[in-house]
Amino acid sequence: MEFELNEEQRMIRQAAREFVEKEVKPRAREVDETGQFPWETIRKMGPMGFLGINVPEEYGGAGGDEISLAILLEELGRGCGSTGLITEDHICLASEAIAEFGTEEQKQKYLVPMARGEVLGALSLTEPGAGSDLVGGVRTTARRDGNEWVLNGSKMWTTNAGVAGVIVILARTDPAGGSHSLSLFIVPKDTPGMHVDPPEKKMGLHGCWSHAVSLDEVRIPLDNLLGEEGRGIHEALHVLDGGRIGIGALSIGLAQGALEAAISYAKERQTFGKPLVGHQAIQFKLADMATKVYLARLGVYHAAWLKDSGKPYTMEAGMSKLFASEMAEWVAYQAIQIHGGYGYSREYPVERIYRDARLMTIGEGTSEIQRLVIARRLIRES
C-alpha cells in the first residue's frame, strides 16, 4: 500500500526503518538469548516521538494517526518482536486507556510523560482465573475507604509491569457482578502493597517482560479512577479493539522479517546445482508468503483508517488481528522449512521469529475470541 501513504506516513516509515536497521535489528538476537529488557533501544525511541506517535501534541505526543502507528509497529516487529511488543503494549493499551478515558488532570500527570518516553505504561486485565472471561472471572477488588480506593487481588501476564511507571488495573467495584461491576484504575509504580513478580519464563519474546502482579491493600486516591465507575469492562474492550490493530501490525512485521530472511537464504543456498530460489517449489512458497503478508497489511491499514475516521472498527480490528497473527505463524513456519535444518538453529533469525509470532494468536484476544467477536457482529448486523 505504499502508493496510498501520505508524505508524513512515508517519512515515519523511513525514520522507523532506519532506526530499526541501526538500533533494533542488530540487538534482536542478544535480547532474545539474554532475556534482558532492551532499555538502551527504548530510551532512544522517546526523543524520536515513537513512544507517543499517535498521542496529540498537547499531551507530549507526535500527533500521528493510527496508520502511522501501524507502520511503526510493523517496522519494529520486522527487527525484533520483543521491542515491538513492549512498544505496542505501552502505546496501544496503557497510553490509549488514559488518552481515551482520562481526565485532563490525569492526562497531564500520566499521559504526557508516557508520550515523551519518560515513563512506560502497562495494562493489567488478566488474572489466574480470568483470561477471555473478564466479566465473570475477575476477582481483584476495589473498595472505597474515605477518600481512597483500596485494591486487593492478583493479576497475570502484565506486560511491562516490571519496568512501568504506571499500571492501569481492572478491578471489581461491585460484588454483585455483571457487566457494570468492573472499573479501571491508575496505579503508579511503587505504590505500597503492589508487588511485581520476576518475569515469566516464556517460549518467545524473551526481552519483553510479562509479570504476575499482587495487590495487598493498595491505596490510591479516588481521583485515580479511570473513566466511569462500573464501565471498566466496556472501556477495556474498547482499548483492546485498538490493541488488536497494533498486534496485527506487529504480526505483519514479524512475517515480513521471516519472508526477507527466507528470500536472502534461498538466494545463497545451493542445492542440486543451482540456488535454492531457482526451484519452483521454493518460488511457490515465497509467492504464497508474500501474498499473505500483502493482504494482511491491507486489512490492518483499513482497520486503522476506520479508527482514524471515527467509524466502527471492532469487527475489522478482530478480522485483521485474526488473519495477520495466524498468517505470521504460517509464514514463519514456511521460512523455517525453506531454511531446512538451519531454520531450527538459533544461528538464523527465523527460529526466533517463529517463537515470537506464536504469542500473537493468543495475546489481546485469542484467535477463538476473535472469531466470536466477528461472528457475533456479523449476526447482529444481518
User: Residue 123 half-sphere exposure, CB side, CA atoms within 13 Å?
Assistant: 29
For residue 225, the cross-strand partners are 185
The rounded Cα 274 to chain-centroid distance in angstroms is: 41
234 contacts 55 by C-beta, under 8 angstroms: no
> Which residues have C-beta within 8 Å of that of residue 14, sequence separation ≥ 6?
none
Name the helix (H) or strand (E) containing 49: none
**Best CA proximity match to 83, nearest among 368, 352, 326:** 352
In the chain, how many H helices and how many E strands? 14, 10
Length of the chain: 382
Q: Which residue out of 7, 88, 364, 368 is catalytically annotated?
A: 364
State whether residue 278 is helix, strand or coil.
helix
Q: Is 96 a catalytic residue?
A: no
State whether residue 153 is helix, strand or coil.
strand
Q: Count Cβ atoms below 10 Å from residue 268 Cβ, excluding itself.
A: 10
**Can you read off the three cell numbers belonging to residue 14?**
523511513
Q: What are phi and psi of 186, to 5 degrees?
A: -95, 120
> Which residues have C-beta within 8 Å of that of residue 376, sequence separation ≥ 6?
none
CA torsion through residues 319, 325, 328, 330, sign: negative
8-state DSSP, 262: H
Please state, in angstroms and rounded to a whole number, the distance separating the CA atoms of residues 251 and 229. Answer: 34
The residue behind cell 472499573 is: 183
Name the helix (H) or strand (E) containing 89: none
Q: What are phi and psi of 270, to 5 degrees?
A: -105, 130
Distances in Å between the Cα of 189 and the Cα atoms of 110, 158, 216 are 11, 13, 14
State whether residue 328 is helix, strand or coil.
helix
The residues assigned a catalytic role are 364
